[in-house]
Amino acid sequence: MRDNYLLKLNILKKILFFLTLILSSASLYAQSEFTVRGFVYNAENGEAAAFVKVLIKPIVFKPSDELNGATTDLDGYFQFSSLRGGEYAVEVRSAEHLSIYDTITLSDKALVTLRYELVKSEEVKEMEEVAIFGQDQSKRSNVEMSVNKLNQEGLERLPSFGAENDIISAFAITPGVVSTGDQGGQLYVRGGTPIQNKITLDGMTIYNPFHSIGFFSVFETELIKSADIYTGGFSAEYGGRISSIMDITYRDGDLTKHGGLVSVSPFIGKAVLEGPVFKNKDAKGSGGSYVFSAKHSLLNYTSEGVYPYVNDGEGMPFSFTDIYGKFTVKSPEGSKFSAFGFSNNDAVRYDNIADLNWKSYGGGINFTLVPSSNPVIIKGHLNASNYDIFFQEENGGKPRTSGITGFDVGFDFLYFLKNQSEITYGFNIGGFSTNFSTFNSVDREIKVENYNTELSAYLNYKLVKGRWVFNPGIRLQAYPSIPAVIPEPRLGIKVNATEKLRFKMSGGFYSQNFTSAANDRDIVTLFYGFVAAPTDVQSKFTKANGEEIEPENGLQTSWHGIFGAEYDLTRKLSLNVEGYYKYYPKLSNINVNKLYDDTPEFNQISDIYKKDFLIESGIAYGVDVLLEYKSNRLFLWGVYSYGESERWDGFMTYAPSFDRRHNINLVGSYSFLKDKSLELSLRWNFGSGLPFTPTSGYYQGEDFGNGVTTDYTTSNPSELSILLGDINSARLPTYHRFDITVKKKFSFKNKTILELKGGITNIYDRDNIFYVNRVTNEKIYQLPFLPSIGLSYDF
């Protein structure tokens, strides 16, 4: 097996070499034609202007010529390739800024770089059709399968919890996403578990993005530039997880002036500061900047007085602190360097029920290189972080702990082709160490400590040809510690059937080297740790069809197949329907059946009773329907999701704890007054009952304290044992909740803004179950009727 791995690793090295050679040759060949690239940024703060429409056309138009259009990326970058020589007209369109018109001449330089500054004006009328046109072009030139793209403006439209906006609102309403509710913050995506979701911040993996009070994440909404949520079928540039990707990007600090924001509510207090470190007067949009944010929960101070009816008047036992800072340098040529660091802490204690705390910290660097003589854009990152969690149930519960420390370094190369086609390729090196300890239902300890490395390389190609968009890709994941090399083919296709109707499909193979430190059969769990995929698993696994295989390791894998259609009912109203099927050939899970230690004296005992982890398989399938209306003042979002999930453990089929069949999210917001300074947001969520394993009864367990001489007929053991029913054979009650938020902004002559926020969570005070202690049968309900008010000042 080791020789086979070395052979595959050698193939991986050769593929990396040829990728570099081919792309370098393509870049040199492109120099014989003209390439125009550029950067667009906001004059107000020097920030890159993302998703701005740029048009270019020859002044002397020939029949063979085409009107080229592009949309700037997150770095404000655009590029046009394979242009002939001559004079061209350039137009930059934005819905909130003055349009820019320019003329350029392509003659002696093969590569021309442009820079444009967008200026706001009180006289500019909102060109809603420009924004819609840009969205339409993106839909036609990108597959965009199973993705929800949001910016800060989109996040602000969603109802806020506790008078504070948070990105978790966007996660929770995404089609195909199931949330366990207000507390815990666990998200399940189209049959996948939280451990199978990869959440990144500027390229860094965030191991636990949600605080125990589940409607607050570790992310600062004021800093979010974009949030792309992929629920399946994602392309080859993403890897390391088998269910979903949540890719979050922060903006840089203000390059023109010092400023910030302070905010306070009964839930949290926070502050954001930003400004220039140094300025480049000769090239606006370049220089150095900083941004710093900090927030701290206030519920442990305020809830006893503000919400005396919660938790029997003892307040809400939540506490968390988040700190983030970043320093950025931008060059006039478009290159950029950033260094950042963060610290997140969380603690919750329910008296006589459970105690939990976790902490995370880390940092890294990101850079973008824009070579002056080459159209290839080079991006890179280097980061490291640590995450530790502790959980203990009261009344005799034994502690569970988990920790992970990891690093990651990677490079990405982007090359634009003609007609919005492009090639992206890159490679990544990472490593992590884990330590984990828990106890299963029969109090057998499961303890794992290990160190792992990962190597990966990918090639992603997007071809736009007439009505068709093709997006094939290949990713290679190497796991030296296992050892294993896994090829992961990916494919996305879209056809623009008409101007309004588009069909699309995507699919591929995915793998990951992570296993959850919680069992998927648990009713609900506050504890969610990380473990590397185990190598010491059972020697044989019987598939559902009766076939017997010999698993070599516990790497988790999945196949995705997704088909969908988009239809623009009007310019403002669109419908998106997607059907999906996910097959999980191999999943690894904590062994709830463990009775014996895996030691020589128990060699005759079956693996299923002594291994810490067992192999399973599974399927998930369903349909997601999204109806979206977006206009100048009104935003409506309606989602219905139907899904089914099944797991096979080698003996029986069972429904995992997140198998929610029906899920509905209805969201609406409207801006009142001429200046749109008054906004009302509403959200109603309904979810059918989640499965759980019921408690059939209790009995006094015998601990055999005197060994084989113990007289069980006269002993009186004090420990109470639980008799469980069939796995996940019962369902919790349905979940539903209605929330409302009202915001009013007051603008002052010095351009500062005061915002008053008010909201009500769970308006009709629905009792939604959250947690049950099996021993004491004590219940914790999710958040009751909670009014709140908050104040923020943007300066």
SS (H, E, C) 167-209: CHHHHHCCCCEEECCCCCCCEEECCCCHHHEEEEECCEECCCC
Amino acid at 519: N
| φ and ψ at residue 36, rounded to 5 degrees | -115, 125
State yes or no: pLDDT of 371 exceeds 80.
yes
Q: What is the pLDDT of residue 352?
A: 57
Range with lowest mean pLDDT among 12-26, 162-176, 192-206, 273-287: 12-26
Range with lowest mean pLDDT among 278-287, 423-432, 736-745: 278-287
CA nearest to 739, candidates 771, 765, 768: 765
State yes or no: pLDDT of 383 exceeds 80.
yes
Evaluate whether 331 touches 286 at the Cβ level (below 8 Å): yes
Q: What is the pLDDT of residue 693?
A: 81
State yes or no: pLDDT of 66 exceeds 70.
no
What's the start-to-end Cα distance of the chain, in Å?
62
Q: What is the DSSP letter of 348?
A: E
243-247, 445-449, 545-549, 701-705: which is most confident: 243-247
Beta bridge partners of 451: 433
Note the pLDDT tens digit of each residue in 600-639.
777 778 777 777 788 889 999 999 999 999 988 999 999 9
Angle (CA) 390 395 399, round 5°: 20
Q: What is the DSSP letter of 596?
A: S
Note the pLDDT tens digit of each residue in 462-510.
998 889 999 999 999 999 888 889 999 999 999 999 989 999 999 999 9
Q: What is the DSSP letter of 311?
A: G
Beta strands in 394-483 (DSSP E): 400-416, 422-439, 445-465, 468-479
Q: What is the DSSP letter of 32?
A: T
CA nearest to 741, candidates 191, 155, 281: 155
Q: What is the pLDDT of residue 652?
A: 86
Is residue 322 packed enough to be buried (19+ CB in 10 Å), middle (13-18) or exposed (0-12)?
Answer: buried
Token pair belonging to 62: 């020939």
- Mean pLDDT, rounded, of the chain: 83
Residue 598's SS3 state is coil
Note the pLDDT tens digit of each residue in 396-419.
567 778 889 999 999 999 988 877
**Which residues have C-beta within 8 Å of that of residue 172, sequence separation ≥ 6?**
179, 187, 665, 685
What's the whole-model pTM score? 0.85
At residue 379 the predicted structure's pLDDT band, cuts being 50, 70 and 90, is very high
At residue 105 the predicted structure's pLDDT band, cuts being 50, 70 and 90, is confident
| φ and ψ at residue 265, rounded to 5 degrees | -155, 175
State yes or no: pLDDT of 706 exceeds 70.
no
Q: What is the pLDDT of residue 707?
A: 52
At residue 259 the predicted structure's pLDDT band, cuts being 50, 70 and 90, is very high
Tokens 């995992």 correspond to 656
Q: Supply the Cα-derived Rg of the chain in whole angstroms.
A: 27
Evaluate whether 618 touches 545 at the Cβ level (below 8 Å): no
At residue 178 the predicted structure's pLDDT band, cuts being 50, 70 and 90, is confident
State yes or no: pLDDT of 594 exceeds 60.
yes
| φ and ψ at residue 322, rounded to 5 degrees | -125, 135
Token pair belonging to 769: 């179950």
Range with lowest mean pLDDT among 36-40, 710-714, 734-738, 747-751: 710-714
What does the alpha-carbon distance between residue 202 and residue 226 come to, in Å, rounded to a whole number? 10
Range with lowest mean pLDDT among 176-185, 202-211, 318-327, 332-341: 176-185
**Which residues have C-beta within 8 Å of that of residue 29, sequence separation ≥ 6?**
none
State yes or no: pLDDT of 176 exceeds 60.
yes
State yes or no: pLDDT of 682 exceeds 90.
yes
Token pair belonging to 306: 């503000």
Q: What is the pLDDT of residue 163?
A: 65
The residue count for the chain: 795
Q: What is the pLDDT of residue 525?
A: 58
What does the alpha-carbon distance between residue 152 and residue 788 come to, in Å, rounded to a whole number? 22
Look at 641 and 283; give whichever has higher pLDDT.
Answer: 641
Q: Identify the structural domains of the chain with CATH numbers, from first to last.
A: 31-128 (2.60.40.10), 147-693+729-794 (2.40.170.20)
Q: What is the pLDDT of residue 27?
A: 46
Q: How many CA atoms lie within 13 A of 780 on its CB side?
A: 25
Note the pLDDT tens digit of each residue in 140-160.
788 888 888 877 777 777 776
Range with lowest mean pLDDT among 134-138, 295-299, 786-790: 134-138
- The dihedral built from the CA positions of residue 234, 236, 242 and 246, taken in this order, carries a sign that is negative
Q: What is the pLDDT of residue 504?
A: 96
What does the alpha-carbon distance between residue 488 and residue 555 come to, in Å, rounded to a whole number? 14
Q: What is the pLDDT of residue 483?
A: 85
Could you give the percent of the chain with pLDDT greater than 90?
36
At residue 17 the predicted structure's pLDDT band, cuts being 50, 70 and 90, is low
Evaluate whether 363 touches 394 at the Cβ level (below 8 Å): no
Is residue 551 packed enough to be buried (19+ CB in 10 Å), middle (13-18) or exposed (0-12)?
Answer: middle
Q: What is the pLDDT of residue 774?
A: 67
Tokens 């998930």 correspond to 620
Amino acid at 749: K
Q: What is the pLDDT of residue 124?
A: 45
Range with lowest mean pLDDT among 293-297, 551-555, 621-625, 646-650: 551-555
Q: What is the pLDDT of residue 650?
A: 83
Tell me what the mean pLDDT of segment 516-539 comes to: 67
Q: What is the DSSP letter of 694?
A: -
State yes or no: pLDDT of 19 exceeds 60.
no
